[in-house]
Structure 1
Amino acid sequence: MKTIESMKDKKVLVLGLAKSGVAAAELLHKLGAFVTVNDAKPFEDNKEAQSLLQQGITVICGHHPEDLLDDGFELVVKNPGIPYTNPIVADALARKLPIWTEVELAYQISEAPLVGITGSNGKTTTTSLLFDVLQASKKNPLIAGNIGTVACGVTAKATADEVVVMELSSFQLMGTETFKPHIAIWTNLFEAHIDYHGTMAEYGEAKFNITRNQDANDYLIYNADQEIVSNFAARSKAQLIPFSSSTILKDGISADDDMIYWMGEPYMPRDIIALPGKHNLENVLCVIASAILLQCDQQALAHTLQTFTGVKHRTQYVGEFQQRKFYNDSKATNTLATKSALSAFNTPIVLIAGGLDRGHSFEELRPYMSNVRAVVVSGETKVRFAEFAKDCGVSIIATVDTVNEAVPEAFRLSKSGDTILLSPSCASWDQYPSFEIRGDLFIAAVEKLQQ
């Protein structure tokens, strides 16, 4: 960990705990800051706050005092999920106080080079696959960020001969000031989180923070097939590495039906990639470009691409039974994600869908329903999704109560060579606490079917 003096004797407010708040408070305390933590959870029920108090950190729990910032704070480090409309955050903005997320701290103390990965979709798959490639190439990778491991906790232990692969949300990036990864990856940009950012333009600006401070010694790998991302990339001072799944590029990485190309020259055959779908091809192109820039072993790269079958709950290959392949895409909580999943397969699909009814339309899926043999629906949207599927020309539609029941029903409706795909296009909260639990139930039902 780099020793930085900028935090010494500085009065810092950490707003919101959870894992990132605890890690930030402990790090700031270690760096010599005068830290105060404010969290809404009452102290008597707040084990994290109790632990921080024992370490000598000031804690204010159970409420957010309106006059909290009158105590002379010089910096606010907030939980990424806390919106900028929060009264304390708004007050900090009015006072022109810097407002960070712990990602900024992670960068400032890191001895290891960083690879930062952002985008509306594909972040987790790209991060996980790149980590596996670097590990196979003995590059000593560490994984951090939005994928579940607090970034500043990882970089505090990272050494100069390691590489930190960091998944970054727009919420995290919005709270950065000097953050500068050596390699930045921007997978795509679709309309999302407008309730948090206000406009699509502001959402894009938050994402742009991944490259805003980069210079000519750094690299930005970006989606050349999206004009909006290309326009942002044109503002970057990094070396630009565009990627495309539709056009062969002479200045980046690209693919056609047969080959992956690096700088316009054939690099490796496309058919070694185990992950299905155009969206995953884009993720893979980002990973290959990063691996080349980091001088990874090409054989290790090829082997990892052949064996990596996806991140859990994200078009995850579960297994094959009686010539039917099963895929768990429980993370598909909206039509955009289900559209990507449906377009990933050339075989007939038995689609398992439905969940929480937010009132959104399924119309975006219509062009992708032509390859769907049958639909099995459950959850609050089961009637609406069944009507939509019927209107799309799907003649085989079954209604069940749970995902556990959906798997044997989907198998019954399928034929040899079919793909059975859980891609709900809806959140899980009408029946399940999380998409992870929904996906785990799907996996368990597939395993039971195979017994």
Structure 2
Amino acid sequence: MKKAMVFGAGISGLGAEHLLKNMGYEVILVDDKKGISSKEGMEYLDEIEIFVKSPGVPYNEIVMKAKEKKIKLIDEIELSYEYMLQYEIKSKIIAVTGTNGKTTTTTKITELLQYAGYKAEYAGNIGVSYAELLLKHKDLDYIVLELSSYQLENLLDFKPWITMVINLTPDHLSRYKDTNDYYKTKFNIGKNQNENDYFIFNLDSKEVVERENFIFGRKIKISQNINKECDFWVKDGKLYGKDGKILECAKLSLKGKHNLENVLFIVAAAKIVGIQNEKIREFLYNTKTIEHRMEDFFNYGKVKFINDSKGTNIDSTKFAVEAFDQCILICGGFDKKLDWSPLAELIKIHAKEVYLIGETADEINRILLEKGYDSSRVFLLRDLKSCLLNMKERFTSEEPQVVLLSPATSSFDQFNSYEHRGEVFKELVREIFGR
């Protein structure tokens, strides 16, 4: 029997394990909690044909040894695509990456496709793994994939029909040698495209435009500004395509400049598919915001609580604090080795007070004080429960406040995922302020 090794037993790794077994492989699962250890796994390398590395696990000794032995090293995204080819699954792939806006864009493209009558589901970096989706659904018209840079590192033949890099700003520098390495990895998403495929090209993102030579699909150009080169653009509060006005921006249910960027991608994808303007308008005027992204979920009298746990980098938090100016901000988390000075500047301008949590708390506190932020407005309490208990003692329900959780970094120091962090935040707020 053919043998494969899967390193990492998270959502992606377990999906890969199930898919490989379905393909007739004996699978060796390497994971300190749910499988054998990396050290034990080294003993099986000579027996395996495929090594599937989960996105969250490091490039440690066993991964490098598999490379050295020239074992086929791929990730679950590549494995799933190869499964589609082998079993002639005809679903068209729409693939989404970028630093910010991935989840909103992925979710809303999927929901719009469903609204227009297509069989469509999303997977990848949200919801279920690509592999599990394929095992569950064999007859989808469209598979919409949100893909992180980690999931784009070991691709060979993966080839979406429509792809997009929404925007690029510094992130994950604990993983990559520099920002250019991170940005280049993002563009792996379309490296196998040709003129029969589509790349939605954001002319407003300088870092994307500078990497135009990495684009091989047919470019569909979008911009929030008037641009004669554009296929889709905004002018005088209206979104246009080459066939005329599509929608009025003021009527969009997804508010803010960052969401208008997302909407341009959603509209461009919908028009490539062939969805009529009327359907696009109906959907985008009425759709709801996604969970964990500027989610207004609880009021304690005049105190409003906003869950923006999806704010996993500085630019994401920038959008949130600008939307809720003079908020009580809760931020901090896993240390990605970023420059926290831009975050400190945002806090100085937009946050009335700041509560700091996680690994980055001390460093952000140090930079804030260096920049002259009043130390009496900083609460270095390190975890969500302590922050909320402190607020309960200090705030009355009659004083208008906006409490915004927008961490500006990943969750892995204290939580399993941004979803887990958001759920814990909401549960604690309801428990502490709902009494």
Provide the C-alpha distance between the structure 1 equivalents of 2:70 and 2:258, rounded to a whole number of angstroms: 41
- The alpha carbon displacement at 1:111 in A equals 2.3
Q: What pairs with 1:62-73 in structure 2 (closer than 5 Å)?
A: 63-71=39-47, 73=48
Checking the alignment, whether the CA contact within 8 Å between 1:178 and 1:213 is kept in structure 2 is yes
Which residue among 112, 115, 139 is the counterpart of 2:94?
115
Instruction: List alignment gaps of at least 5 residues for structure 2.
Output: none
Answer yes or no: is 1:75 the counterpart of 2:58. no
Provide the C-alpha distance between the structure 1 equivalents of 2:96 and 2:245, rounded to a whole number of angstroms: 25
Which residue among 71, 88, 94 is the counterpart of 2:62?
88
Answer yes or no: is 1:170 the counterpart of 2:161. no
Aligned to 1:402: 387
Provide the C-alpha distance between the structure 1 equivalents of 2:7 and 2:364, rounded to a whole number of angstroms: 41
Provide the C-alpha distance between the structure 1 equivalents of 2:241 and 2:299, rounded to a whole number of angstroms: 34
Answer yes or no: is 1:439 the counterpart of 2:415. no
Provide the C-alpha distance between the structure 1 equivalents of 2:8 and 2:78, rounded to a whole number of angstroms: 16
Answer yes or no: is 1:17 the counterpart of 2:9. yes
Q: Structure 1's 87 and 424: CA in aligned 2 closer, same or farther, altered over 3 A?
A: closer
Q: TM-score, normalised by structure 2?
A: 0.82
- The alpha carbon displacement at 1:40 in A equals 3.4
Q: Structure 1's 139 and 95: CA in aligned 2 closer, same or farther, altered over 3 A?
A: same
Which residue among 149, 156, 159 is the counterpart of 1:180?
159
Moved more, 321-330 or 259-268: 321-330
Provide the C-alpha distance between the structure 1 equivalents of 2:130 and 2:299, rounded to a whole number of angstroms: 37
- The alpha carbon displacement at 1:435 in A equals 4.4
Aligned to 1:52: none
Aligned to 1:143: 122
Aligned to 1:274: 253
Provide the C-alpha distance between the structure 1 equivalents of 2:420 and 2:145, rounded to a whole number of angstroms: 25
Aligned to 2:212: 233
Q: Structure 1's 355 and 216: CA in aligned 2 closer, same or farther, altered over 3 A?
A: closer
Q: Structure 1's 143 and 370: CA in aligned 2 closer, same or farther, altered over 3 A?
A: same
Checking the alignment, whether the CA contact within 8 Å between 1:350 and 1:413 is kept in structure 2 is no
Provide the C-alpha distance between the structure 2 equivalents of 1:402 and 1:423, rounded to a whole number of angstroms: 14
Counterpart amino acid of residue 423 in structure 2: D
Q: Structure 1's 131 and 404: CA in aligned 2 closer, same or farther, altered over 3 A?
A: farther
Counterpart amino acid of residue 110 in structure 2: F
- The alpha carbon displacement at 1:177 in A equals 1.0
Which residue among 313, 317, 334 is the counterpart of 2:292?
313
- The alpha carbon displacement at 1:216 in A equals 1.3
Provide the C-alpha distance between the structure 2 equivalents of 1:79 and 1:430, rounded to a whole number of angstroms: 19
Instruction: List alignment gaps of at least 5 residues for structure 1.
Output: 1-8, 50-59
* Cα deviation code 1:355-382 (max 9, x no counterpart): 4485966431455457636225254638
Counterpart amino acid of residue 204 in structure 1: Y
Counterpart amino acid of residue 30 in structure 2: D
- The alpha carbon displacement at 1:149 in A equals 0.6
- The alpha carbon displacement at 1:112 in A equals 0.7
Q: Structure 1's 362 and 198: CA in aligned 2 closer, same or farther, altered over 3 A?
A: closer
Provide the C-alpha distance between the structure 2 equivalents of 1:326 and 1:219, rounded to a whole number of angstroms: 40
Q: What pairs with 1:235-274 in structure 2 (closer than 5 Å)?
A: 235-256=214-235, 258-263=237-242, 265-274=244-253
Aligned to 1:37: 28
Provide the C-alpha distance between the structure 2 equivalents of 1:106 and 1:291, rounded to a whole number of angstroms: 24
